Structure 1
Amino acid sequence: MAGVSVRRAASYGIDAPIVLAGFGFGVLTCLLTATVTDGPVPLVGAGLLALCALVHLHTTVRGKFAVWEELLDELRPRGDEDVLDLGCGRGSVLLAAARRLDVGGTAVGVDPWRSLDQAGHDIGATKENALAEGVADRVQLRTGELARLPLLDDSFDLVLSGVAITTVAGADARALAIREAVRVLRPGGRIVLAEVGHTRQYAAALTELGMTQVRRRGLGWRMWWSGPWAPTTLVTARKP
């Protein structure tokens, strides 16, 4: 299944649009300050904030897609797996996984559908994207919280998350989301979490839950969310 092309016929929106709005407000404030203040500091500030916005924008419209294509190629799916995407949003990870499945495989996306997480965050948009990508026949969408998945035990061969558990509010709820991910995973199945922050805790929780081959690694500059202070880290594990 390696080398699957990215059709990108769909529209995936912008991740964390409120962050970009904040950078834009900061740039505007610095520029206005520069009109009444001597010295280069406001202009330097505006430039730095604009650079942060550009890095974030690159990650959300290009970087994350390239990284996930590589990650899914590394997983070498057979094509008949049942795959779960936690917090699927408009389907960037979900549909990339679905493209690697054949008639025997299913890609299920679960999301609470909150617009603060992603621009145009709506189940209807994700359905349209699945149609545009030609994978609607193997995609299912569910509404639910990641800390309380509306799914049966031992249902999936692969559980994915693309910066979704990060958006769950509260350490206890995030711990429940990790536990739920393990609960719905079949023996022998794999968890692949690309997250911003708390990844040491996630790895520790997976180990405590009896998962094996627990690993962490950085995903590089293509998945920086505004800069190196907000990197994406990959956590992987297998269920014995």
Structure 2
Amino acid sequence: MADARHRPGNYGIDAPNVVRNLLLLGIGCLVLGVVSFYVFPEKWLWLGVAIGMVLFIAFLILLIESLYMIWSSKVGKYRMREKLLDFIQLRGDELLLDAGCGRGLVLIAAARRLTTGKAYGIDIWSKRDQSGNEPEVTRENARVEGVAERVEVLNGDMRAIPFPDGYFDAVVSSLAVHNISNLEERRRVLGEMMRVLKPGGRLAILDFQHVRQYADALRELEALDVHIYGPYWSMFPPVRIVAGRKK
């Protein structure tokens, strides 16, 4: 296991646009709620109060959701990355792929569990999905956490993973596959993950959408021991994990 004394990297806020929009919408509801107390004439004051209370409740809900998402990005996702990695049962000498690695949250945690192995991360580096999503940031996080020699970061699309058949002992992915909107392309991603796995290699995917589709696709690809775990509420929205292995 990794040395608990490592310096933490910087892994950003997940879905920053969603967090921003929730906060802005909440502030808008609060402003409109306050205004509603003053715009109605006295005989309709009860209506203004009712509208104001509804808008204030909406503000509280939106505020809680946005704060939950921030907590998820700063605390919850660290707990879930360890649970995800537990499913692939690393010995320490494996070659591992993190598909859609982002700033390296799972990739670097995996590298910390390795001794003679190596962790590879691929991504197309969308800042819409994660703030500050750049390969240089991922490499810097690996350096800061002391695992740079066990991490390699590449440009790569999950739909065409740039590695040969049977290259990896383990493949993981966290909050990445759902960003591909087309069902057939998501199935293609699962096919690529299975292709680059060695026989007996393990696969684990964490996501909040389409997890049952992932499990069905893996079974169609003749993966063994495919199971869905969760939901887990350490992240918002709640996430599930699908895990299996290549026969």
Give the greater-gyration-radius structure (CA): 2
| Residue in structure 1 matching 2:97, options 79, 84, 87 | 84
Alignment of 1:20 with 2:32, yes or no, is no
SS class of match (1:222): coil
Task: Name the CA shift for 1:6/1:19 in 2 (closer, same or farther; >3 Å).
Answer: farther
Alignment partner for residue 124 of structure 1, among 136, 147, 172?
136
| Mapped contact 1:160–1:191 kept (Cα < 8 A) | yes
After superposition, the C-alpha distances for 1:142-163 in whole angstroms (9 at most, x for unaligned) are 1111111111111111100111
Letter in 1 for 2:71: H
Structure 1: segments with no counterpart, 5+ residues: 226-230
What is the CA distance between 1:75 and its match in structure 2? 3.7
How far residue 9 of structure 1 moved from its aligned partner, in angstroms, is 2.2
Q: What residue number does 1:228 align with?
A: none
How many residues of Structure 1 are paired with residues of Structure 2 in the alignment?
233
Alignment of 1:141-156 (within 5 A): 141-156=153-168
> Which residues of 2 match residues 1-240 of structure 1 at below 5 A?
1=1, 5=4, 7-37=6-36, 38-39=48-49, 40-73=53-86, 75-102=88-115, 104-225=116-237, 231-240=238-247
CA distance in structure 2 between the aligned counterparts of 1:7 and 1:164, rounded to whole angstroms: 26
Contact 1:4/1:100 (8 A) holds in 2 = no
In the alignment, the residues of structure 2 paired with residue 127 and residue 24 of structure 1 have an alpha-carbon distance, to the nearest angstrom, of: 31
Counterparts of 1:185 and 1:192, CA distance in 2 = 12
Superposition deviation, residue 196 in structure 1: 1.3
TM-score (norm 2): 0.90
Judge conservation of contact 1:67–1:219 (CA < 8 Å) in 2: no
CA RMSD of aligned residues (A): 1.4
Whichever residue aligns with residue 212 of structure 1, its letter is L
- Structure 2 unmatched ranges of 5 or more: 37-47
Displacement of 1:24: 1.1
Distance in 2 of aligned mates of 1:126 and 1:190: 24
Deviating more after overlay: 70-79 vs 48-57: 70-79
- Structure with more of its chain in helix, by fraction: 2
Kept in 2, the 8 Å contact 1:146–1:168? The answer is no
For residues 165-220 of structure 1, give each alpha carbon's deviation from its aligned partner in whole angstroms, at most 9, with x where no partner exists. 01122112111111111111110001000011111111010000010100001142
Q: SS at 1:36's partner residue? A: helix
CA shift, 1:64, in A, is: 1.1
C-alpha contact (below 8 Å) 2:88/2:170 kept by paired residues: no
Helix, strand or coil for the counterpart of 2:13? coil
Residue-by-residue CA offset, 1:16-41 (whole Å, 9 max, x unaligned): 10110110111111012112212311
The equivalent of 2:42 in structure 1 is none
TM-score by length of 1: 0.93
The letter for the 1-side match of 2:153 is L
Tell me how far apart the structure 1 counterparts of residues 75 and 6 of structure 2 sit (CA, whole Å): 13
